[in-house]
Structure 1
Amino acid sequence: MSTTGSTADARLRALFEGRRLTPTQRRIAHCMVGRAAEVPYLSSVEVAELAGVSQPSVTRFAVALGFDGYPALRRHLREVVPASPAGRPPSEEKAESNAYQRAVEEEIANLRRLADALADPAPVREAGRLLAASRPLPVLGLRAAAAQARGFAYFAAKVHPDVRPLTEGGSMLHDRIDGARRAGADALLCFALPRHPRETVEALAHAREEGLTVVTVADSAFAPVARVSDLLVPAAVGTGLAFDTACGPMLLGRVLLEAMCDGLPEAQARLEEFDVRAASRGLFVE
């Protein structure tokens, strides 16, 4: 599995990756990566509240990483994670914000981390190459990720000759993956967002067994789909509202579209052809 990571988050990922973490510990790791500038200043109780776990779970997590306890982990984080500009956690800097503003601010921070990650465009370019070369191209996204998969497939169909969205689970999902493989597919694109359906993990495992290269957009390098992905590109989701917000994964999907277009010499001609047909049919209101 390959992943991308921002400069700020890479040090935390280096600490967590390669370790056998429980689902609860992966949740804590995901939370810490998503709030890299803030966690060095938080207590174990505050980290537990942010991650939605118990305080003892945070302590056990620190011990699992090889530290004597959470205070030792926090001291280490203060050494390896850059401080926020004002020298205090963002939650304190934004104390006057209301809940709606904080949700937007969290998404802005997520997009900044995504921009940092894209400073190394190699993984996205490789993903674009794989997607462009696959004929057909299955695009998987179940439950919360279905909208991301449909959006990608809608635009991809304008430039790619054969895009097959897979947004419904059930007993026929594996059949559709098998059908795409028999038709010549080499790769499968997956959007995976919390809460991660077991069916998504099983579908990706099946796709790999059938010989497909799995490219995944997920909320974290520690997501359950990581172990069944060949190339995982993370983009964090916002967790400040009752339902997660996914501006980062949506934007990353558009970035992958651009990278895919770079691998399709006929992409521009297809777009121009579509515009001509749309104008002749009066599809859009000027």
Structure 2
Amino acid sequence: MYLYDRQVKPRLTLPIQGYLTILGGWYERGKLHLDVTQQDTKPTVAEQITQKADTLTASERKLAHALLGNYPMAGLETVATFADRCGVSAPTVLRFASKIGFDSYPDMQARLRGELEARLQSPLTRSSLPRSRNRSSHPMGELLHEIAEAATNNIRTSLANINPAELQSAIELIGDCKGSVYLLGGRFTSALAVYAYEHLRTMRSHVRRVSGQSAKWAEDLLDIGKRDVLVIFDVRRYQSDVIAFAEAASKQDAKIILFTDQWLSPIAQFARHVFPVRIETGTTWDSSAASMVMLEALLEGVGQHNPDQVRARIKHLEALRRPSQP
């Protein structure tokens, strides 16, 4: 079963069960000592859906499909509009909200509005939030403790929510790709795209990084097609130019692997594989720690997928780098 009917929207190829599993698993609360105003430890609505995925009826799964495919906006519609969009009754919408753990539909909408606000928070907003104190006798010791705990909690929770089968599929998609592998990141995630590019170009041929001014990205879209894979990174305050590139690539039948946050970039609706990770730290800046660890797992998997090919390529590269002998 697919998130959307592929005959209606053929560019979307993500199976709903796989999508739910990626986002799901039991939400593991770490022993983080930061205030909840800084690092929200409550599961998102998407995570609550995944926890109840196996209990949903066919009609309720239609609602889950629609909400995850247009997250979180679909859930902010009125009961009547949401029901009509999915072809179910209004009481079904109310039962759906109750089944995934909310007292009422407005209660679910309140959570979604909070998530939407968190999506749009700027560093200035986050810097004004209260912080816990008295963790260390030295201010910098306190800072180190907060960052370490937040990053560790993010990594642990994020990896626990990743479906190993989904990771394996993404690894095979890159390892077996007969075309090119493209990489693109946004303002803060471009560093992840560069990191992935430098590793992948060592392991396989035909790896391209989309870079420079976005006005020039159309030149990359000229060549991208159904034999190609686009690995893309996009986190909150999602970039419109990155989203537009992903949509255009999907229309040209490229297969998309998305690294995003727990609130889900709009690119999720175009992606074959989605890896959402936790990024909040309770400080001014979001963290890329969980994204980096997830990316390193993917890169290691690609290396293990074609070990002989990768080993031969690295050996050849080292020979080319060796200074000429007299």
| Equivalent in the alignment of 1:89 | none
Distance 1:281 1:236, change over 3 A: farther
- Tell me how far apart the structure 2 counterparts of residues 147 and 13 of structure 1 sit (CA, whole Å): 32
Contact 2:224 2:249 in 1 (8 A): no
Map of 2:202 onto structure 1:
158
User: Is the contact made by 1:138 and 1:185 (CA closer than 8 Å) also made in structure 2?
Assistant: no
Question: Deviation of residue 17 (structure 1)?
Answer: 4.9
**Match 2:174 to one of 113, 124, 131:** 131
Structure 2 counterpart of 1:46: none
User: Corresponding residue for 2:315?
Assistant: 272
Return 5+ residue gaps in structure 1 as ranges.
27-61, 75-93
How much identity, in percent, do the aligned residues show? Answer: 16
Q: Which amino acid aligns with 1:255?
A: A
Letter in 1 for 2:312: A
CA displacement 1:64-113 (0-9 Å, x = unmatched): 98634659x99xxxxxxxxxxxxxxxxxxx86433542232111011112
Residues 11 and 190 of structure 1, relative CA distance in 2, 3 Å threshold: closer
User: What is the alpha-carbon distance in structure 2 between the residues aligned to residue 274 and residue 186 of structure 1?
Assistant: 24
TM-score normalised by the chain length of structure 2: 0.59
Pairwise mapping of residues 2-81 of structure 1 onto structure 2 (< 5 A)? Answer: 2-3=18-19, 4-5=22-23, 7-9=25-27, 12-14=48-50, 17-18=64-65, 19=67, 21-22=71-72, 67-68=103-104, 70=107
- Distance between the aligned counterparts of 2:320 and 2:180, measured in 1? 23
| Pairing 1:105-254 to 2, within 5 Å after superposition | 105-118=149-162, 120-134=163-177, 135-181=179-225, 185-220=227-262, 222-254=264-296
Secondary structure of the 1:158 match is: helix
The one-letter code matched in structure 2 to 1:188 is L
Report the RMSD for the aligned CA atoms in angstroms.
Answer: 3.3
| Deviation for aligned residue 1:188 | 1.0
One-letter amino acid of the structure 1 residue matched with residue 26 of structure 2: A
Letter in 1 for 2:289: C
Return the alpha-carbon distance in structure 2 between the equivalents of residues 276 and 171 of structure 1. 38
Does structure 2 conserve the Cα–Cα contact (< 8 Å) formed by 1:143 and 1:167? no
Q: Any gaps of 5 or more consecutive residues in structure 2? A: 1-13, 28-45, 53-62, 77-96, 112-131, 136-141
Structure 2 counterpart of 1:260, from 272, 297, 302: 302
Aligned-partner SS, 1:157: helix
Q: CA deviation at 1:144?
A: 1.2
Rounded to whole Å, the distance in 2 between the matches of 1:21 and 1:272 is 45
Counterpart of 1:168, as a letter, is G
Counterpart CA distance in 2 for 1:250 and 1:236 is: 11
CA distance in 2, matches of 1:150, 1:179: 20
Shift of 1:195: 2.2
Contact 1:133 1:186 in 2 (8 A): no
Q: Detail structure 1 runs of 4+ shifted over 6 Å in the superposition.
A: 62-65
User: Aligned-pair distance for 1:238?
Assistant: 2.9
Q: Cα distance, 1:251 vs. partner?
A: 1.4
